[in-house]
Amino acid sequence: MKAMLEGLEYAPEDNAAATTAATAETVGYAFSSDHLRALERDGYVVVDDLISQDVARAAAASARAMYDRGVMQNLRQEGRDDDVAVLATSSLPAGDEFAGLRPCVEALLRVPDDLRRVVARVDDDALGADVVSKVRACRAPDRLMLARYGSESCRYVPHLDNDPSDDANDAGSPGLRPSDRVFTLIAYLNPDWDATRGGRFRAYRPGVAADAASPSDFVDIDPILGRVVVFDAAKLLHEVRPSFHDRYAVTVWTRGAELLPA
């Protein structure tokens, strides 16, 4: 863990100090071939019913508690204003005030298996080889990131989550590097969000440069409670628009099967 934190300049290791009790097992989400076609065509797909409102509200309360307790820290990285905590998926912070995070995290960690079930039941020619190979290879990670954007126009400039042109793309231990990311999964934890609060997720159309984009070249997505965005970490140029209200999200990056421990 320490090597990853030093390499990627994430929050302290002791964010993930204690193991929480297991929650009741739940079934996975029923993704469809249409979801994967959207992921293939646009580089992303929005899912509004993967996480229930009750689960999302509980996770939101836990996220706020973590910030209030000082667990989240600003990385002081140019182009991003968020406060973050990197947590081990198997060792989330203990205590009743943090327990609401686990069901939300578990729903995200099931997504790789959920997507593979779709690929297994569709015809070989129904989807492109690239998205099929990525879905078949992706696995749940052992780390997640909790992020808060403050109300002072906090934002994150346009970027790729897996950017080969970035000198830091290969920094860190195998499986924890930006270059190892296959899909990004973001769950939003913002009750009563509306357009006046800003903080939208801007997804650029494939091949469009942010500094040359017209309004038809991107889609803005509201970070409403329980919404999940799944996108190709190496393909989707995206940003977080300035936020005028505290904005929370939990993110996991799936990794390739070849990076899993033997």
Closest CA to 116 of 194, 222, 33: 33
pLDDT at 84: 98
Closest CA to 250 of 96, 58, 43, 41: 58
Residues facing 46 on adjacent strands:
229
The CATH topology of domain 2-18+30-259 is Jelly Rolls (2.60.120)
Residue 44 · residue 235 · CB < 8 Å: no
Q: Which amino acid is at 112?
A: P
Joined together, the tokens standing for residue 40 give 């293939």
Residue 19 · residue 94 · CB < 8 Å: yes
Per-residue pLDDT of the chain in tens (262 residues, 90 and over written 9)? 334 334 433 444 344 333 333 333 445 788 999 999 999 999 999 999 999 999 999 999 999 999 999 999 999 999 999 999 999 999 998 889 999 999 999 999 999 999 999 999 988 788 999 999 999 999 999 999 999 999 999 999 999 999 999 999 999 888 889 999 999 999 999 999 999 999 999 999 999 999 999 999 999 999 999 999 999 999 999 999 999 999 999 999 999 876 544 4
CA 191 centroid distance within chain:
18
**Integer CA distances (angstroms), 183 to 19, 21, 59, 60, 125, in order:** 26, 28, 22, 23, 22
Planar angle of CA 174, 179, 185, nearest 5 degrees:
100
Interacting residues of 111 by C-beta distance below 8 A, sequence separation 6+: 28, 29, 31, 50, 140, 183, 185, 230, 254
Domain ranges of the chain: 2-18+30-259
What is the number of H-type helices and E-type strands within the chain? 6, 12
